[in-house]
Amino acid sequence: MKPIVILISGAGSNMTSIVQAAQQRRWAERLGAKVVAVVSNRPDAEGLAWARAQGIEGVVLDHKAFASREAFDAQLQTEIDCFEPSLVVLAGFMRILTSGFVQHYQGRLINIHPSLLPAFGGLNTHQRAIDIGCRFAGATVHQVTADLDHGPILAQAVVPVLPHDTAQSLAARVLTQEHLIYPQAIEAWLSKQPSAASNA
Protein backbone atom coordinates (compact mmCIF):
# COMPACT_ATOMS: atom_id res chain seq x y z
CA MET A 1 0.00 0.00 0.00
CA LYS A 2 1.08 3.58 -0.75
CA PRO A 3 -0.27 5.60 2.19
CA ILE A 4 -1.22 9.24 1.56
CA VAL A 5 -1.36 11.85 4.32
CA ILE A 6 -3.17 15.14 3.58
CA LEU A 7 -2.50 18.37 5.52
CA ILE A 8 -5.25 20.98 5.82
CA SER A 9 -6.02 24.15 7.78
CA GLY A 10 -9.68 24.79 6.98
CA ALA A 11 -12.60 23.41 4.99
CA GLY A 12 -10.34 21.11 3.00
CA SER A 13 -12.18 21.32 -0.33
CA ASN A 14 -9.12 20.05 -2.21
CA MET A 15 -8.78 17.26 0.34
CA THR A 16 -12.40 16.33 -0.33
CA SER A 17 -11.84 16.21 -4.08
CA ILE A 18 -8.77 13.99 -3.60
CA VAL A 19 -10.55 11.54 -1.29
CA GLN A 20 -13.55 11.35 -3.61
CA ALA A 21 -11.30 10.75 -6.62
CA ALA A 22 -9.48 8.01 -4.71
CA GLN A 23 -12.81 6.30 -4.03
CA GLN A 24 -14.34 6.80 -7.47
CA ARG A 25 -11.22 5.84 -9.40
CA ARG A 26 -10.38 2.90 -7.11
CA TRP A 27 -6.86 4.00 -6.22
CA ALA A 28 -6.58 1.21 -3.65
CA GLU A 29 -7.28 -1.51 -6.22
CA ARG A 30 -5.60 0.07 -9.22
CA LEU A 31 -2.62 1.85 -7.66
CA GLY A 32 -2.28 0.34 -4.20
CA ALA A 33 -2.80 3.82 -2.72
CA LYS A 34 -5.06 5.07 0.05
CA VAL A 35 -5.61 8.30 1.99
CA VAL A 36 -4.89 7.13 5.53
CA ALA A 37 -4.88 10.37 7.52
CA VAL A 38 -5.80 14.04 7.43
CA VAL A 39 -3.76 16.34 9.69
CA SER A 40 -4.73 19.90 10.62
CA ASN A 41 -2.88 22.62 12.48
CA ARG A 42 -6.25 24.08 13.50
CA PRO A 43 -8.57 22.18 15.87
CA ASP A 44 -11.62 23.88 14.30
CA ALA A 45 -10.78 22.94 10.71
CA GLU A 46 -14.07 21.94 9.10
CA GLY A 47 -12.43 19.34 6.88
CA LEU A 48 -11.54 17.12 9.84
CA ALA A 49 -15.14 16.11 10.51
CA TRP A 50 -15.72 15.28 6.85
CA ALA A 51 -12.57 13.15 6.69
CA ARG A 52 -13.48 11.27 9.87
CA ALA A 53 -16.95 10.60 8.44
CA GLN A 54 -15.20 8.83 5.56
CA GLY A 55 -13.36 6.58 7.99
CA ILE A 56 -10.09 8.49 7.63
CA GLU A 57 -8.07 9.21 10.76
CA GLY A 58 -8.12 12.90 11.66
CA VAL A 59 -5.17 14.31 13.59
CA VAL A 60 -5.01 17.76 15.22
CA LEU A 61 -1.70 19.41 15.97
CA ASP A 62 -2.31 22.99 17.07
CA HIS A 63 0.66 25.13 16.01
CA LYS A 64 -0.19 27.65 18.74
CA ALA A 65 0.91 25.13 21.35
CA PHE A 66 4.52 25.23 20.12
CA ALA A 67 7.18 27.78 20.95
CA SER A 68 8.72 27.82 17.48
CA ARG A 69 8.11 26.84 13.89
CA GLU A 70 10.90 24.27 14.19
CA ALA A 71 9.31 22.64 17.22
CA PHE A 72 5.95 22.40 15.50
CA ASP A 73 7.42 20.96 12.30
CA ALA A 74 9.40 18.39 14.27
CA GLN A 75 6.25 17.14 15.99
CA LEU A 76 4.29 17.31 12.72
CA GLN A 77 6.93 15.13 11.10
CA THR A 78 6.65 12.62 13.95
CA GLU A 79 2.85 12.48 13.59
CA ILE A 80 3.03 12.04 9.81
CA ASP A 81 5.74 9.39 9.97
CA CYS A 82 3.47 7.19 12.10
CA PHE A 83 1.59 6.50 8.86
CA GLU A 84 4.74 5.74 6.81
CA PRO A 85 3.46 7.87 3.90
CA SER A 86 4.46 7.43 0.30
CA LEU A 87 3.05 10.91 -0.37
CA VAL A 88 2.34 13.97 1.78
CA VAL A 89 -0.19 16.35 0.23
CA LEU A 90 -0.59 20.01 1.22
CA ALA A 91 -4.23 20.97 0.63
CA GLY A 92 -4.75 24.46 1.98
CA PHE A 93 -2.23 23.94 4.77
CA MET A 94 -1.52 27.53 5.77
CA ARG A 95 1.94 27.12 7.21
CA ILE A 96 5.36 27.88 5.77
CA LEU A 97 7.35 24.71 6.36
CA THR A 98 10.93 24.62 7.59
CA SER A 99 13.68 23.45 5.27
CA GLY A 100 14.35 20.43 7.49
CA PHE A 101 10.74 19.27 7.17
CA VAL A 102 10.77 19.77 3.41
CA GLN A 103 14.04 17.90 3.08
CA HIS A 104 12.71 14.95 5.08
CA TYR A 105 9.89 14.47 2.54
CA GLN A 106 11.84 15.50 -0.54
CA GLY A 107 10.32 13.95 -3.64
CA ARG A 108 7.09 12.93 -1.90
CA LEU A 109 5.72 16.30 -0.75
CA ILE A 110 3.37 18.19 -3.09
CA ASN A 111 1.31 21.36 -2.97
CA ILE A 112 -1.25 23.23 -5.03
CA HIS A 113 -0.84 26.97 -5.50
CA PRO A 114 -3.53 29.34 -6.89
CA SER A 115 -1.46 30.86 -9.70
CA LEU A 116 0.41 29.85 -12.80
CA LEU A 117 3.81 29.42 -11.21
CA PRO A 118 6.43 30.77 -11.41
CA ALA A 119 4.18 33.86 -11.53
CA PHE A 120 2.66 35.12 -8.27
CA GLY A 121 4.19 32.97 -5.60
CA GLY A 122 3.09 33.80 -2.07
CA LEU A 123 -0.22 35.36 -1.02
CA ASN A 124 -2.96 37.49 -2.65
CA THR A 125 -2.36 35.83 -6.00
CA HIS A 126 -5.72 36.67 -7.58
CA GLN A 127 -5.72 40.37 -6.71
CA ARG A 128 -2.13 40.71 -7.91
CA ALA A 129 -3.05 39.11 -11.23
CA ILE A 130 -6.02 41.46 -11.64
CA ASP A 131 -4.03 44.55 -10.62
CA ILE A 132 -1.44 44.16 -13.38
CA GLY A 133 -3.97 43.26 -16.05
CA CYS A 134 -3.36 39.53 -16.54
CA ARG A 135 -5.69 37.96 -19.06
CA PHE A 136 -5.20 34.49 -17.65
CA ALA A 137 -4.77 33.01 -14.20
CA GLY A 138 -4.82 29.47 -12.88
CA ALA A 139 -3.43 26.91 -10.50
CA THR A 140 -0.28 24.81 -10.26
CA VAL A 141 0.43 21.46 -8.63
CA HIS A 142 4.12 21.22 -7.80
CA GLN A 143 6.62 19.33 -5.73
CA VAL A 144 7.65 21.26 -2.65
CA THR A 145 11.23 22.42 -2.28
CA ALA A 146 12.96 24.70 0.22
CA ASP A 147 12.18 27.65 -2.08
CA LEU A 148 8.60 28.78 -1.40
CA ASP A 149 6.21 28.06 -4.29
CA HIS A 150 8.92 26.64 -6.49
CA GLY A 151 9.77 23.08 -7.33
CA PRO A 152 9.02 20.86 -10.33
CA ILE A 153 5.59 21.48 -11.83
CA LEU A 154 3.30 18.44 -12.02
CA ALA A 155 0.15 20.02 -13.49
CA GLN A 156 -1.39 23.38 -14.33
CA ALA A 157 -4.84 24.67 -15.22
CA VAL A 158 -5.59 27.98 -16.93
CA VAL A 159 -8.70 30.15 -16.50
CA PRO A 160 -9.47 33.51 -18.14
CA VAL A 161 -9.49 36.69 -16.10
CA LEU A 162 -12.82 38.33 -16.97
CA PRO A 163 -13.27 42.11 -17.27
CA HIS A 164 -15.31 42.48 -14.09
CA ASP A 165 -13.54 39.87 -11.99
CA THR A 166 -12.86 40.46 -8.32
CA ALA A 167 -10.29 38.50 -6.39
CA GLN A 168 -13.18 36.46 -4.95
CA SER A 169 -14.83 35.60 -8.26
CA LEU A 170 -11.50 34.70 -9.84
CA ALA A 171 -10.55 32.58 -6.82
CA ALA A 172 -13.82 30.65 -7.08
CA ARG A 173 -13.25 29.89 -10.75
CA VAL A 174 -9.66 28.81 -10.14
CA LEU A 175 -10.77 26.59 -7.26
CA THR A 176 -13.03 24.54 -9.53
CA GLN A 177 -9.96 23.76 -11.62
CA GLU A 178 -7.88 22.94 -8.54
CA HIS A 179 -10.43 20.27 -7.66
CA LEU A 180 -9.87 18.69 -11.07
CA ILE A 181 -6.11 18.86 -11.51
CA TYR A 182 -4.97 18.00 -7.98
CA PRO A 183 -6.42 14.46 -7.96
CA GLN A 184 -5.26 13.97 -11.56
CA ALA A 185 -1.70 15.01 -10.68
CA ILE A 186 -1.65 12.73 -7.63
CA GLU A 187 -2.94 9.80 -9.65
CA ALA A 188 -0.28 10.40 -12.30
CA TRP A 189 2.42 10.59 -9.61
CA LEU A 190 1.20 7.38 -7.96
CA SER A 191 1.12 5.51 -11.26
CA LYS A 192 4.84 6.15 -11.69
CA GLN A 193 5.78 4.78 -8.27
CA PRO A 194 6.84 1.13 -8.01
CA SER A 195 4.53 -1.12 -6.06
CA ALA A 196 5.69 -3.10 -3.04
CA ALA A 197 5.25 -6.28 -5.05
CA SER A 198 7.65 -5.10 -7.76
CA ASN A 199 10.24 -4.34 -5.10
CA ALA A 200 10.00 -7.77 -3.51
Of 49-53, 107-111, 140-144, 191-195, the poorest mean pLDDT is in 191-195
Is 164 among the residues known to form the active site? no
Q: What is the mean pLDDT of residues 113-132?
A: 96
- Among 118, 117, 137, smallest CA distance to 127 is for 137
Is residue 199 predicted with pLDDT exceeding 70? no
**pLDDT (tens digit, 9 = 90+) per residue, 150-188?**
899 999 999 999 999 999 999 999 999 999 999 999 999
Cα–Cα distance measured from residue 119 to residue 24, given in angstroms and rounded to the nearest whole number: 33
The count of structural domains within the chain is 1
Is residue 198 predicted with pLDDT exceeding 50? no
Tell me which residue range forms the domain holding 98.
2-199
| Residue tagged active-site, from 63, 113, 150, 179 | 113
Q: What does the longest C-alpha to C-alpha distance in the chain come to? A: 57
* Chain centre to alpha carbon of residue 111: 4
Cα–Cα distance measured from residue 32 to residue 24, given in angstroms and rounded to the nearest whole number: 14
For the chain, the average pLDDT equals 95
Is residue 200 predicted with pLDDT exceeding 60? no
Q: What is the mean pLDDT of residues 77-104?
A: 96
**What is the value of pTM for the model shown?**
0.94
Q: What is the mean pLDDT of residues 34-41?
A: 98
What pLDDT does residue 195 have? 64
Q: What is the mean pLDDT of residues 15-29?
A: 98
- 25: domain CATH number? 3.40.50.170
Give the residue ranges of DSSP H helices in the chain: 13-24, 27-31, 46-53, 69-81, 99-104, 125-131, 167-191, 196-199
